[in-house]
Structure 1
Amino acid sequence: MAKINANYEALYILKPDLNEEQIKALVERFKGVVEANGTVSEIDEWGKRRLAYPINDLMEGYYVLMTFTAAAAIPAELDRIFRITDGVMRSMIVCKDE
Protein backbone atom coordinates (compact mmCIF):
# COMPACT_ATOMS: atom_id res chain seq x y z
CA MET A 1 0.00 0.00 0.00
CA ALA A 2 1.38 3.41 -0.98
CA LYS A 3 1.93 6.08 1.63
CA ILE A 4 -0.30 9.12 1.41
CA ASN A 5 1.87 11.32 3.62
CA ALA A 6 5.51 11.02 4.62
CA ASN A 7 7.81 12.80 7.08
CA TYR A 8 10.37 15.20 5.60
CA GLU A 9 13.14 17.50 6.72
CA ALA A 10 14.09 20.59 4.76
CA LEU A 11 17.34 22.37 5.57
CA TYR A 12 17.95 25.64 3.80
CA ILE A 13 20.62 28.32 4.06
CA LEU A 14 19.66 31.95 3.61
CA LYS A 15 22.02 34.77 2.67
CA PRO A 16 23.65 36.28 5.78
CA ASP A 17 23.06 39.89 4.70
CA LEU A 18 19.25 39.59 5.03
CA ASN A 19 17.71 41.51 7.92
CA GLU A 20 15.40 39.93 10.53
CA GLU A 21 12.21 40.96 8.73
CA GLN A 22 13.37 39.45 5.43
CA ILE A 23 14.39 36.20 7.14
CA LYS A 24 11.06 35.98 8.97
CA ALA A 25 9.17 36.63 5.71
CA LEU A 26 11.05 33.84 3.88
CA VAL A 27 10.56 31.36 6.74
CA GLU A 28 6.82 32.14 6.80
CA ARG A 29 6.62 31.84 3.00
CA PHE A 30 8.16 28.36 3.00
CA LYS A 31 6.02 27.34 5.98
CA GLY A 32 2.92 28.48 4.08
CA VAL A 33 3.83 26.38 1.05
CA VAL A 34 3.95 23.25 3.21
CA GLU A 35 0.86 24.10 5.28
CA ALA A 36 -1.25 24.47 2.14
CA ASN A 37 -1.32 20.66 1.82
CA GLY A 38 0.59 19.34 4.84
CA THR A 39 1.57 20.03 8.43
CA VAL A 40 4.73 21.63 9.79
CA SER A 41 5.97 19.85 12.92
CA GLU A 42 8.85 22.14 13.83
CA ILE A 43 10.91 25.03 12.53
CA ASP A 44 14.35 25.25 14.09
CA GLU A 45 16.29 28.41 13.23
CA TRP A 46 19.97 27.71 13.84
CA GLY A 47 21.01 31.26 13.01
CA LYS A 48 24.19 32.44 11.31
CA ARG A 49 26.89 29.81 11.00
CA ARG A 50 30.16 29.54 9.17
CA LEU A 51 30.00 27.55 5.92
CA ALA A 52 32.35 24.64 5.23
CA TYR A 53 33.32 26.29 1.94
CA PRO A 54 32.53 29.65 0.33
CA ILE A 55 29.30 29.92 -1.67
CA ASN A 56 29.25 32.92 -4.02
CA ASP A 57 32.15 34.45 -2.02
CA LEU A 58 30.15 34.28 1.23
CA MET A 59 31.63 32.49 4.24
CA GLU A 60 28.50 32.27 6.43
CA GLY A 61 24.78 31.71 6.08
CA TYR A 62 21.56 31.66 8.10
CA TYR A 63 20.48 28.03 8.64
CA VAL A 64 16.85 26.92 9.06
CA LEU A 65 15.63 23.33 9.60
CA MET A 66 11.95 22.61 8.94
CA THR A 67 10.34 19.25 9.80
CA PHE A 68 7.01 18.51 8.14
CA THR A 69 4.54 15.84 6.99
CA ALA A 70 3.13 16.11 3.47
CA ALA A 71 2.19 14.29 0.29
CA ALA A 72 4.94 13.41 -2.20
CA ALA A 73 4.21 16.39 -4.48
CA ILE A 74 4.88 19.02 -1.79
CA PRO A 75 8.67 18.52 -1.47
CA ALA A 76 9.05 18.88 -5.24
CA GLU A 77 7.12 22.18 -5.19
CA LEU A 78 9.06 23.40 -2.15
CA ASP A 79 12.36 22.56 -3.87
CA ARG A 80 11.26 24.53 -6.95
CA ILE A 81 10.44 27.54 -4.78
CA PHE A 82 13.81 27.26 -2.98
CA ARG A 83 15.60 27.40 -6.34
CA ILE A 84 13.81 30.50 -7.62
CA THR A 85 13.98 32.52 -4.37
CA ASP A 86 16.80 35.06 -4.33
CA GLY A 87 17.61 34.84 -0.61
CA VAL A 88 18.24 31.08 -0.59
CA MET A 89 21.85 29.97 -1.06
CA ARG A 90 21.41 26.19 -0.69
CA SER A 91 18.62 23.78 0.24
CA MET A 92 18.08 20.07 0.79
CA ILE A 93 14.92 18.06 1.42
CA VAL A 94 15.15 14.55 2.87
CA CYS A 95 12.44 11.94 3.48
CA LYS A 96 12.88 10.67 7.06
CA ASP A 97 10.75 7.54 6.50
CA GLU A 98 13.23 5.87 4.14
Structure 2
Amino acid sequence: MLTLTDGAVQVIRTVTANPELPPETGIRIEPGVNGSDALRLSVAAAPEAGDQIVEEEGARVYLEPEVAQLLDDKTLDAQVDQQGEVEFTIAGGDAV
Protein backbone atom coordinates (compact mmCIF):
# COMPACT_ATOMS: atom_id res chain seq x y z
CA MET A 1 0.00 0.00 0.00
CA LEU A 2 1.16 3.54 -0.74
CA THR A 3 2.74 5.22 2.27
CA LEU A 4 2.87 8.94 3.01
CA THR A 5 5.80 10.93 4.36
CA ASP A 6 5.29 13.52 7.07
CA GLY A 7 5.70 16.20 4.39
CA ALA A 8 2.94 14.68 2.26
CA VAL A 9 0.62 14.43 5.28
CA GLN A 10 1.19 18.10 6.14
CA VAL A 11 0.65 19.34 2.58
CA ILE A 12 -2.48 17.22 2.02
CA ARG A 13 -3.97 18.35 5.33
CA THR A 14 -3.26 21.99 4.44
CA VAL A 15 -4.74 21.67 0.94
CA THR A 16 -7.90 19.97 2.18
CA ALA A 17 -8.40 22.07 5.35
CA ASN A 18 -10.87 24.51 3.75
CA PRO A 19 -13.95 24.56 6.03
CA GLU A 20 -16.18 24.84 2.94
CA LEU A 21 -15.04 21.39 1.76
CA PRO A 22 -16.65 18.17 3.04
CA PRO A 23 -14.74 16.53 5.93
CA GLU A 24 -13.85 13.50 3.76
CA THR A 25 -12.05 15.65 1.16
CA GLY A 26 -8.72 14.22 0.06
CA ILE A 27 -6.27 14.06 -2.81
CA ARG A 28 -7.12 11.70 -5.70
CA ILE A 29 -4.44 10.20 -7.92
CA GLU A 30 -5.50 8.79 -11.28
CA PRO A 31 -3.93 8.01 -14.66
CA GLY A 32 -2.93 10.96 -16.81
CA VAL A 33 -4.92 11.98 -19.85
CA ASN A 34 -4.54 10.36 -23.27
CA GLY A 35 -2.67 7.34 -21.95
CA SER A 36 0.40 9.30 -20.86
CA ASP A 37 2.68 7.82 -18.21
CA ALA A 38 2.11 10.84 -15.98
CA LEU A 39 -0.28 10.65 -13.07
CA ARG A 40 -2.93 13.27 -12.39
CA LEU A 41 -3.51 14.60 -8.89
CA SER A 42 -6.57 16.59 -7.84
CA VAL A 43 -8.57 17.54 -4.77
CA ALA A 44 -11.58 15.23 -4.42
CA ALA A 45 -14.61 15.66 -2.14
CA ALA A 46 -14.87 11.87 -1.73
CA PRO A 47 -13.45 8.67 -3.23
CA GLU A 48 -14.92 7.27 -6.41
CA ALA A 49 -16.25 3.73 -6.61
CA GLY A 50 -13.38 1.25 -6.48
CA ASP A 51 -10.80 3.73 -5.18
CA GLN A 52 -8.28 2.52 -2.62
CA ILE A 53 -8.20 4.85 0.38
CA VAL A 54 -4.98 5.68 2.16
CA GLU A 55 -5.45 7.69 5.34
CA GLU A 56 -2.74 8.84 7.69
CA GLU A 57 -3.03 11.42 10.46
CA GLY A 58 -6.11 12.98 8.85
CA ALA A 59 -4.63 13.15 5.34
CA ARG A 60 -6.63 11.16 2.76
CA VAL A 61 -5.42 9.92 -0.60
CA TYR A 62 -7.82 8.24 -3.01
CA LEU A 63 -6.15 5.98 -5.55
CA GLU A 64 -7.83 4.94 -8.78
CA PRO A 65 -7.60 1.09 -8.86
CA GLU A 66 -4.97 0.89 -11.62
CA VAL A 67 -2.87 3.55 -9.90
CA ALA A 68 -3.23 1.74 -6.55
CA GLN A 69 -1.53 -1.30 -8.08
CA LEU A 70 1.20 0.83 -9.64
CA LEU A 71 1.97 2.64 -6.37
CA ASP A 72 1.46 -0.35 -4.04
CA ASP A 73 5.04 -0.33 -2.69
CA LYS A 74 5.81 3.38 -3.15
CA THR A 75 6.00 6.42 -0.87
CA LEU A 76 4.34 9.76 -1.61
CA ASP A 77 6.22 12.89 -0.54
CA ALA A 78 5.44 16.58 -0.96
CA GLN A 79 7.39 19.79 -0.65
CA VAL A 80 6.48 23.46 -0.92
CA ASP A 81 9.02 25.71 -2.63
CA GLN A 82 9.79 29.34 -1.74
CA GLN A 83 7.10 30.55 -4.16
CA GLY A 84 4.47 28.42 -2.43
CA GLU A 85 4.24 25.87 -5.25
CA VAL A 86 3.62 22.28 -4.15
CA GLU A 87 5.42 19.37 -5.76
CA PHE A 88 4.42 15.80 -5.03
CA THR A 89 6.98 13.07 -5.69
CA ILE A 90 6.86 9.31 -5.54
CA ALA A 91 9.81 7.43 -4.00
CA GLY A 92 12.23 7.21 -6.87
CA GLY A 93 11.83 10.84 -7.84
CA ASP A 94 8.98 10.71 -10.34
CA ALA A 95 7.09 14.03 -10.16
CA VAL A 96 3.31 13.88 -10.03
TM-score, scaled to structure 2? 0.32
Structure ranking higher on relative contact order (CA contacts 8 Å, 6+ apart): 1
Which structure's residues are more often helix, by fraction? 1
Q: Which one has a bigger Cα radius of gyration?
A: 1
